[in-house]
Structure 1
Amino acid sequence: MTTDTSGTCPSVRYTVGAVRAGYQMRLLSRPAPPQFPTTVCELVVPLGARAAVLAQSTVAAAVVHPANRELPLPNWTATTRPRTIGVIGDTGCRVTTPGPDQDCANHQTGWPFPRIAGSAAAVTHPDLAIHVGDYLYRDDPAQATDAAANPGCTAAGDRFSWGCVVADFFRPAESLLAVAPVVLTRGNHEDCRTPPATGGAGAAWFRYLADDLRSNGSCSLYPDPVEIRAGVLHLLSVDSSYADPADSGSITQQAIYTRQFEAVNQAAGQQPGHDYFLVTHKPLWMVRSAGPPPQTFTPVLDKAVGGTTLGRLADNIRMVLSGHAHLYQMIDFDTARPPQLTVGFSGGDPLEQGPNDAAVIGTPVGTPPQAVHHSLTQGGVFGYAVLNRNAGTWDLTSHDPTGALRGQTCTLSRNAAHKEFVCH
């Protein structure tokens, strides 16, 4: 994206094999001020390309981020997968009237997302980053303590503008975006209700962050699932931003999401020997309270999975990655059901404390009810998660805002019928 008003796109130079050449990016949308004073361009780059750099002579923008103009590309092949994956979620700085809820200018104790993104880049060195949703938290930008540093995000009317997308995501995430390709998932803070279906947070999502970028300001409640291939690892993204919007436990949308999960299972069935991760903002089996009865987020998604032809997620879906709850939690069942990883503690307030893990273990959750085998919750703290490739499986770790390991390393089992994390 560039804030120049020329409506022209720059070129990118990269190397494939022994050939280095320049390729002009394709225009997706022209400036639509005042909300979107930007030119948006894209370029499809073949797997195996390397050393991608924006051609300086073709750039019309006054300032380029990152300054070296180098663009991160996948380092895996069609037959390999990423070695290290950084996972973040729920990252924006919450600012409401009379505001602010967070001190956006204080990256130590107020809003640590810029520090978290920097640590994820410099300490973890991921090959791929996944954001599980919720970027835009500035409901009243005028109240933000860093408003002076964010022109274009200083008034209530700016809250879903390019300036606020920069303030809440692109600028604080810059160091991470500069080192790894990023998969972005839509959260409820980017749904179509805030405020209208056209021109609000949903429109900003579809203009700048979605898999299928748009230029007309439109917003869809239920886009089709998207499959993203990272070699032999497949990410299946389901848009749950509008699932049970009041978080009331309603299951009225079950049929809609059953169709989505049918498509997910069909996609996973195409490559039964490959790993699949389901990525969706609202969790399927996150436990908020052990009860009785247990309280979970988004029962409609769980019921929708139970309503599929299989009655469950496909066996080669190894893990579910979500956010929404402002904490870190890993839940597994030691069954064919994949573990639920919730990573919603990367910057947004208020943080949640979560349940007592000892009380969660053995609690029946989901459709059909299955007893929780392991529960590992970190509440009241900020951080991010990392998945490291380990032979034929994955190691899961949690990290504090400095990048330091917090807690144990948990290794995902290889048995598709008994998916569990063994922690050590």
Structure 2
Amino acid sequence: MTSSPFIRPRIRITARLTALAPALLLAACAGLVSDPGPDDAAFVVIGEDGAATARLVTSAATCPPLLVDNRAMPMRVRVPKSSIPARPGQAHTPPSSAMLACEAPIAAGAVTASVAGHDLPVPKAAPQRIVVIGDTGCRLKGKDFQACNDPAAFPFARVAASAAAFKPDLVIHVGDYHYREDPCPAGRAGCADSPYGYGYDAWAADFFTPARKLLAAAPWVLARGNHENCRRAGQGWWRWLDPRPFQAGRDCDSPANDAVGEYSDPYAVPLGGGVQLLVFDSANTSYKGLPPGDPRRAAYAALYRKIEVLARGARSSIGVNHHPVFGVGALRDEQTGAVNLFGGDAGLLDAFGDVDPGYLPSSVAMLLSGHVHLWEQVSFASSHPTQFVSGFSGTSEDIVPLPAMPPPGMAPAPGAIVEHMSSWIDGFGFMTMERTGPDGWLVRVHDRDGLERNRCKVEGKKSRCALAQVH
């Protein structure tokens, strides 16, 4: 009996449907997942060895599939749907939205990715264009109440949109995401009705919602700031931002576990060409210094030894952390009006100095930090790495001016000799880095609208900017 000419095409169609069945099943399941909520956040974090992880923080009941190059894969639950629990002894905070955290890896070489209707950026092996931001939230604490409802006073959404228009390959946040800790006082229209406390509502208002365009523009490397230590917003840090798998007990929920929750190991992110980022957690240091009996001093000395091991894995490293090791800051005496300069973070200098009188491995060429609410560059005649501070992206600014050069005898750290320095005080914006050679970078300083306000050339450990002071 002769076969019908229509049999073979039907078999081929059946075979194709069989091969597509897993993807079709996951796609069908996606339709059963609740639509993403208006405050949901989708983004990509870069962790150890440059591994990329897609994250979704959602009000939905279940994790949707992740689509990578049109292939569906399940996302795992990072943290079950829940609200941030109040820590014992913590001041009263209002109830917060219950959120589900989902994650899944994105393989190197992926071309497209999306989840729950959000397009996700995919990592590049050798990023050429990098955005650096920091200190982005709206301050509501103590006596300081920023006008969070005023886009001019809290311009992070505008800064993030301008930074996204730069079309970066990578975004680095140098820490301090969350600032809305206390309720807005009655009668203050500038921050009226703002969420506050350590739950997702405040996190969304401070970070996830205003950062949305920049979260969609490129993968992120995330440093932890002191605002994310366990006594403050550490619970949100561990649930949503830390690049490693979530670990119960290292979540800042219980003060009994803070000896674990306050610290994490450093990790390296390759940038190509023998250069890497060294990301390290300085959230629990103290600018006042760490006396020999303080357990933090031993903890950060141990951190240094781990940084030293990682530094051997590349020809050159760029350190990423929150507290500037080699920065220069200024405070005004409230009684006399005199401006007093201070150097780098005393706690890290104490602890790192116990291990290495140079404070960082010799292959570290540059440091990217925040914490001080300004933009700053410091380069040294000594062998110390050039320091950039990019803490000017949203929170209320430091307005005490820095000098064009520190006076004789003033040094950010013992033995550090300042050769060139630049700063921008009382101006919101972001910093960019563009590769110019194996050890060369063009650093540009942008205002909130993306307009260039200064530029610096970096070669190895040395840097120099066009303007000593931006006005």
State the TM-score, normalized to the length of structure 2.
Answer: 0.74
State the secondary structure of the residue aligned to 2:432. Answer: strand
Q: What is the deviation of 1:294?
A: 5.3
Q: What is the deviation of 1:334?
A: 3.1
Q: What is the deviation of 1:227?
A: 2.3
Residue type at the aligned position of 1:138: R
Aligned partners of 1:129 and 1:182 also within 8 Å: yes
Moved more, 171-180 or 255-264: 255-264
Q: Which residue of 1 aligns with 2:65?
A: 11
Distance 1:178 1:320 in 2: 26
- Alignment of 1:134 with 2:176, yes or no, is yes
- Alignment of 1:114 with 2:157, yes or no, is yes
Aligned partners of 1:361 and 1:372 also within 8 Å: no
Aligned partners of 2:324 and 2:387 also within 8 Å: yes
Moved more, 332-341 or 112-121: 332-341
Q: What is the deviation of 1:285?
A: 1.3
Q: Which residue of 2 aligns with 1:45?
A: 106
Rg: which structure is higher?
2
Label 1:191 to 1:376 Cα distance change in 2 as closer, same or farther (>3 A). Answer: same
Distance 2:347 2:217 in 1: 36
Q: What is the deviation of 1:30?
A: 0.9
- Alignment of 1:390 with 2:451, yes or no, is no
Aligned partners of 1:285 and 1:302 also within 8 Å: no
Q: What is the deviation of 1:126?
A: 1.0
Aligned partners of 1:207 and 1:214 also within 8 Å: yes
Aligned partners of 2:79 and 2:246 also within 8 Å: yes
Q: Which residue of 2 aligns with 1:63?
A: none
Aligned partners of 2:288 and 2:347 also within 8 Å: no
Query: In structure 1, which of residues 95, 100, 107 is the aligned counterpart of residue 140 of structure 2?
Result: 95
Label 1:286 to 1:311 Cα distance change in 2 as closer, same or farther (>3 A). Answer: closer
Residue type at the aligned position of 2:145: D
Cα deviation code 1:152-171 (max 9, x no counterpart): x63xxx51111111100000
Aligned partners of 2:368 and 2:389 also within 8 Å: yes
Distance 1:354 1:240 in 2: 26
Aligned partners of 1:30 and 1:215 also within 8 Å: no
Q: What is the deviation of 1:289?
A: 4.4
- Alignment of 1:226 with 2:275, yes or no, is no
User: Which blocks of at least 5 consecutive residues in structure 1 are unaligned?
Assistant: 60-67, 195-200
Q: What is the deviation of 1:382?
A: 1.3
Q: Which residue of 2 aligns with 1:188?
A: 226
Distance 2:183 2:386 in 1: 37
Aligned partners of 1:353 and 1:378 also within 8 Å: no
Query: In structure 2, which of residues 355, 368, 381 is the aligned counterpart of residue 321 of structure 1?
Result: 368
Q: What is the deviation of 1:370?
A: 2.1
Q: Which residue of 2 aligns with 1:248?
A: 288
Q: Which residue of 2 aligns with 1:379?
A: 425
Distance 1:215 1:263 in 2: 21
Q: Which residue of 2 aligns with 1:21?
A: 71
Give the length in aligned residue pairs.
378
Q: Which residue of 1 aligns with 2:257?
A: none
Q: Which residue of 1 aligns with 2:121?
A: 72
Aligned partners of 1:361 and 1:371 also within 8 Å: no
Residue type at the aligned position of 1:267: L
State the secondary structure of the residue aligned to 2:355. Answer: coil
Residue type at the aligned position of 1:254: R
Aligned partners of 1:327 and 1:353 also within 8 Å: no
Q: What is the deviation of 1:130?
A: 0.7
Query: In structure 2, which of residues 313, 317, 320 is the aligned counterpart of residue 270 of structure 1?
Result: 313
Distance 1:175 1:5 in 2: 21
Where do 1:255-334 residues align within 5 Å? 255-271=298-314, 273=315, 275-289=316-330, 295-308=342-355, 311-334=358-381
Q: What is the deviation of 1:226?
A: 2.4
Query: In structure 1, which of residues 207, 212, 228 is the aligned counterpart of residue 244 of structure 2?
Result: 212
Query: In structure 2, which of residues 109, 119, 128 is the aligned counterpart of residue 83 of structure 1?
Result: 128
Once superposed, what is the RMSD of the aligned Cα atoms? Answer: 2.6
Cα deviation code 1:132-161 (max 9, x no counterpart): 11111112245585778x8xx63xxx5111
- Alignment of 1:347 with 2:394, yes or no, is yes
Residue type at the aligned position of 1:402: D
Cα deviation code 1:258-282 (max 9, x no counterpart): 21111111101022x2x32111111
Aligned partners of 2:344 and 2:412 also within 8 Å: no
Q: Which residue of 2 aligns with 1:198?
A: none
Cα deviation code 1:172-195 (max 9, x no counterpart): 00010011101111111111123x
Residue type at the aligned position of 2:73: Y
Distance 2:362 2:111 in 1: 34
Aligned partners of 1:328 and 1:343 also within 8 Å: yes
Aligned partners of 2:129 and 2:169 also within 8 Å: yes
Residue type at the aligned position of 1:283: P
Label 1:96 to 1:312 Cα distance change in 2 as closer, same or farther (>3 A). Answer: closer
Distance 2:408 2:210 in 1: 37
Q: What is the deviation of 1:2?
A: 4.0
Cα deviation code 1:260-316 (max 9, x no counterpart): 111111101022x2x321111111011124999952141121233333257442232
Distance 2:356 2:383 in 1: 15
Q: What is the deviation of 1:344?
A: 0.9
Distance 2:113 2:190 in 1: 33
Aligned partners of 1:331 and 1:376 also within 8 Å: yes
Distance 1:25 1:229 in 2: 25
Label 1:362 to 1:127 Cα distance change in 2 as closer, same or farther (>3 A). Answer: farther
Q: What is the deviation of 1:345?
A: 0.9
Distance 2:356 2:289 in 1: 23
User: Which blocks of at least 5 consecutive residues in structure 2 are unaligned?
Assistant: 1-55, 84-94, 253-260, 332-337, 467-471
Q: How many percent of aligned residue pairs carry the same amino acid?
A: 33
Aligned partners of 1:70 and 1:178 also within 8 Å: yes
Query: In structure 1, which of residues 328, 346, 365 is the aligned counterpart of residue 412 of structure 2?
Result: 365
